[in-house]
Structure 1
Amino acid sequence: MILSSLKVWMVPLALTLVSVCSDAARATAQTIYPFTGYYRTTVNITPIAGDVSQVFEVGVSDDAPYGLELYEGLTYSVLDANGNLTFNNNPEAFGIQGFPLGYIQFGSGTNKLFGTSDASAAVNFETLTAKGSGIVNITGGEGIFENATATLLFSEDDIVNLGQNITLNGLALVTGPIEVPQKVPEPTASTTLVGIGLMGAGFLLRQRRLGSANKKS
């Protein structure tokens, strides 16, 4: 009889613990959105001081998923004597003051991704071509990408057009997984309270049965 009573109040305790642990696991789950997109790009490089330039890039894609067909970014670059470009989103890294921080944005509709980039490129002034590569650090977003994080890889091949400003026209490939936290209920006290209530009822039932047994003896 005592063993039977123990079973009665141990069952809700086990269910309560399983429920709470399950809720905690769901609260930390991630949704992974695989991403691959080719973008036709136009890069405008405008000198602003010495060998430092402001760089504005726009890309348009026919195959990027999730409504991220438009890409745009602002960054800064330094060009050395060998035609190597180094990019940085912070102009102060190159000793330039009074200019806005750079940014990266994918998408122009409901779904958007925001971040910064870390990149480099090599310009061949004989063939008037350029090759660039780097990463895009995604730090947030909108729509299905709220609170998104990602490290996207990109590579780019360009045709160089010389002038007062340098313009690069090319094709960029951007790829990588995008992680988004799932919006699920956090563990609440309600399930735990129900379990405690059932445990209490089981305990009282056990005490009543023990009292009845003692009277009969």
Structure 2
Amino acid sequence: MRKGKRLLALEGATLTAALITGTSVAQAASFDFSETYDTRVTIDPSFRPDNQNLFRVTVTGESADAPFGLTNFVSDTYGQFNPNTNTATFDANPAAIGIEGEPILSDRYFGGRNELFGRASDMAEFNFEQGTVMGAGTIALTGGEGVFENATGTIDFTQNDTLPGSELPQSFEGEARLDYQVQTPQPVPEPGTNAMLVASAGIIGFGFLKRSRRRKST
């Protein structure tokens, strides 16, 4: 009798698991929000001593009230400055601006248990007479943690900085607005899942009752 109960329970568990597995589908959750960060840009001119117009750039940002705890970010890219137009191109992929033999860099947006990762590509215009820098670009998301696990999507941004002098400095500060468009895959049960689970429970109960009656009659 006990052996029969254990076998029946195992059969019921297998049936229930099959029903649950068979009725789950992947759907995407979307997160669209914006935030403004105080930023600091640091340029490493020693990256290519033979070419001062090629450099590595690190941008850090802070915002105490950022949604989902994304209060900080660090963005690493390679940069190429054009002194004829006073414009610069930045990209996490060195090959995009003609640099060879260097690794692809990345961005990190963090502050708590939720994080986002991506790769930036942008351009900026330097106005040395007015002492300003205006930039814009996009971060292609490559993943995340917490609520953003396996995230895809983009972060579009605009940035305005203040130059401390009339030459390309090694660091300057400003402000950036980030517009997040994030998608994450989420397993969501189909509408028929609950009904099927109830049906499976009924089948298990009926089978158990039927077997019990057979054993009593013998």
- TM-score of the alignment, normalized to the shorter chain, above 0.5: yes
**Aligned counterparts of 1:95 and 1:185: Cα–Cα separation in 2:** 48
State the Cα distance separating 1:185 from its structure 2 match: 6.1
**Aligned counterparts of 1:46 and 1:75: Cα–Cα separation in 2:** 11
Deviations 1:157-209 (A, max 9, x none): 00013578432210000013311111346999xx59x79xx8xxxxxxxxxxx
RMSD over equivalenced CA pairs, Å: 2.9
Matched to 1:133, the amino acid is: A
**Aligned counterparts of 1:41 and 1:144: Cα–Cα separation in 2:** 25
Instruction: State whether residues 115 and 148 of structure 2, in contact with CA within 8 Å, keep that contact through their aligned partners in structure 1.
Output: yes
Q: Which residue of 2 aligns with 1:40?
A: 38
State the Cα distance separating 1:108 from its structure 2 match: 3.6
The 5-angstrom pairing of residues 1-217 of structure 1 reads: 23=23, 27-47=25-45, 48-49=47-48, 50=51, 51-80=53-82, 81-162=84-165, 165-184=169-188
Identity %: 34
**Aligned counterparts of 2:39 and 2:134: Cα–Cα separation in 1:** 13
Which has the greater radius of gyration?
A: 1
Q: How many pairs are equivalent?
A: 174
**Aligned counterparts of 2:141 and 2:91: Cα–Cα separation in 1:** 15
Q: Which residue of 2 aligns with 1:6?
A: none
The secondary structure found in structure 2 opposite 1:28 is: strand
The secondary structure found in structure 1 opposite 2:147 is: helix
Matched to 1:174, the amino acid is: L
Instruction: State whether residues 38 and 62 of structure 1, in contact with CA within 8 Å, keep that contact through their aligned partners in structure 2.
Output: no
Unaligned runs of 5+ in 2: 1-18, 204-218
State the Cα distance separating 1:128 from its structure 2 match: 1.4
